[in-house]
Amino acid sequence: MKKFLLLLVALLVFPVVPAVPVKAADVNFWTTGGGTFYIGQTVNVVVSANSGDTYNAVTVNVTFNNLTYLGASVVGGWTGVAGPSVSGNTISFSGALLGGSASGGRDVLSVSFALPNHESQASINSSGTIALADGSGTPVNGGGNTVVFNAINPPPPPDPAPEAVSITSASHPDQSVWYSKAEGQFSWNRQNGVTDFSYAFDQTPETDPGDESKGEGTSASFPNLKDGVYYFHIKARNNVGWGPISHFTVRVDTTPPDPFGIATLNSSDTELQVYYSSFDRISGVDKYIVTIDGKVVEKAASGMRISKTTGRIVVDAFDKAGNKQSATLDISPNDFVEVSDEEETTTTGFDLKSALIALALLLLLQLVIFGIYRLIKRTRARSGKQKQAAKDASAPTAMEKQVLPPASASNTSQTAMPK
């Protein structure tokens, strides 16, 4: 039934009558598009019919050159009678406006093409026939425009900015580990096109080293580092500009743990308990290794028990950078007393109680010696003063020497007094 209706429409629209020659200006077909595109690119064009008369049917022929046909669709409300179909390099379509007509321009087809994959020129030309809505379907032929496409190679992609620099360190290879090396040594990769590097070394995690070039070298070293955490920052530049910043962490600890002592506590008649502890303010104490009489004790810990027959204990404290601090205790059987049920006696290589008693006795002895010295000095001073006083008392004064007459004169002038 559908084929019968289409055939009936075709007979009504396109009666078998000779074509009436008209001026080309009376009808034309127009194709949009054209211009310069990259090779292999897809382009779309729209083919339209245009006439100053009223028309209700159209036949369109689209000829293309150096293009690959991808597909076509009917636009403008036309009902297809034939096509769109392609034969060789020509696309054909016939359609009618059922129950209507058009005047002026009206779109007919939308067509897609692929440009060639090499630099060249391609073109599209359209032509066709319209049937006037005059009751007779008078056909009018018309030509169209030619559109040209220039297929060119796309420009090369712009150079990318440098990627993040990859950093390695021969002195501090693991960023999470502490090292006892006081010199930071770094090296990094150099990408193609990189002309400069900018870098900095400090104790701030996210420093931007700035845009001042440090040259094109791929290594750097920083000696005489103090203990602490440091960061190496670097970025690269090419003809596009500076790339992102890379950071590398360095942990330095050259100081051994703090000095410490070993203490022992009587545990039984035959055993002692050993205590020790050190501190490391930079990386922290990592482990202790205990050696008893020249033999390393596995899984040793503070508070461990040892025999009272032990001669020497050596404890090595290691921090997380591998620095070592050692303590040694020589044990003698005389360093501790027997343990009773009521009392435990603490003994160490250094007897604090005995030391305090000895210090008190020494101070008392010094006081006694000082007292004797002061007493002797005072006695000597007193004796000297007494001798001087006696000497002064026996000697006449200057006045006495002037008043008293000579002893001979005094004796001759005295007479006996009657009683």
pLDDT, tens only, 169-179: 999 999 999 99
Secondary structure class of 203 (helix, strand, coil):
coil
Q: Is residue 368 part of a domain?
A: no
* CB 47, CB 109: distance < 8 Å: yes
Among the candidates 117, 152, 187, a domain finishes at 152
Q: Cα(388)–Cα(211) distance, rounded to whole angstroms? A: 96
Mean pLDDT value across residues 138-143? 91
Q: Is residue 200 part of a domain?
A: yes
Q: Is residue 224 part of a domain?
A: yes
Containing domain of residue 188, as a range? 167-252
Q: Cα(151)–Cα(135) distance, rounded to whole angstroms? A: 47
pLDDT, tens only, 60-86: 999 999 999 999 999 999 988 888 999
* CB 248, CB 166: distance < 8 Å: no
Q: Cα(130)–Cα(249) distance, rounded to whole angstroms? A: 80
Task: Assess whether 266 and 244 both reside in one domain.
Answer: no
Strands 246-252 and 178-179: parallel
Q: Cα(93)–Cα(126) distance, rounded to whole angstroms? A: 11
Q: Quick one: what percent of the chain has pLDDT higher than 90?
A: 65
Residues with Cβ within 8 Å of residue 120, at least 6 apart in sequence: 66, 151
pLDDT at 109 over 70: yes
Structural domain count of the chain: 3
Q: Which amino acid is present at 403?
A: V
- Write the CATH number for 220: 2.60.40.10
Task: Assess whether 334 and 204 both reside in one domain.
Answer: no
pLDDT, tens only, 192-235: 999 999 999 999 999 999 999 999 999 999 999 999 999 999 99
CA proximity to 295, closest of 311, 276, 308:
311
Residue-level pLDDT at 365: 67
Among the candidates 301, 329, 353, a domain finishes at 353
Q: Is residue 374 part of a domain?
A: no
Tokens 């009272």 belong to which residue? 308
pLDDT, tens only, 351-368: 556 556 666 676 676 676
Question: Has this prediction a pTM greater than 0.85?
Answer: no
